[in-house]
Amino acid sequence: MMTVGAQVKQALASLKGAQADLESFALSTQNKQAKQMYTEAAQQTQAIVNNLQQRVTELENEEPQYKGF
């Protein structure tokens, strides 16, 4: 059974990966419209990643026994 903290951490890791994918798509596409769209999506996703990161820190402070998961 995963704790909430571990679940949030896992989601954070996946989202970081997806965010990096979006950035790499933005770099690799030659189409301007697609490039702009990917860049925006990557930025928006980055904001969510930051929020999740913050939440993970909060959870770690609340449940110190899970720190480092």
Partner 1 sequence: MPDWLNILLRSLGALAYLFILTKIIGKRQIKQLTLIEYIVGITIGSIAAFMATEMDGPIAHSLIAMGVFAIVPVLMEWLTLKSKVLRDFFEGKSTILIKEGKILEDNLKKERLTAEDLLEQLRLKNVFRVADVEFAMMETNGELSVLLKSEKQPVTPQQLELTVSPAEESQVVIMDGVIMDEPLATAGYNRRWVRTQLQKAGVALENVFLGQVDKSGELYLDLYDDKIQVPAPQAMKRTFATLKKCQADLELFALATKSEQAKQTYQRDAEQLQQVIDQVKPFLIR
Pick the binder of partner 1 from 2, 3, 48, 57 (CB under 8 A).
48
8 Å CB contact between 49 and 12: yes
Task: Kindly state the tokens that stand for 32.
Answer: 């301007």
8 Å CB contact between 38 and 23: yes
Query: What's the one-letter identity of residue 46?
Result: Q
- Tell the residue number behind the tokens 């989601």, with chain if given: 11
34 scored as a contact of partner 1 (CB under 8 A): yes
- Tell the residue number behind the tokens 């959870």, with chain if given: 59
47 scored as a contact of partner 1 (CB under 8 A): yes
Q: Indicate the residue among 58 and 67 with the shorter CB distance to partner 1.
A: 58
Residue numbers of the site for partner 1 (CB under 8 A)?
Answer: 4, 7-8, 11, 14-15, 17-18, 21-22, 25, 28-31, 33-34, 37-38, 40-41, 44-45, 47-48, 51-52, 55, 58
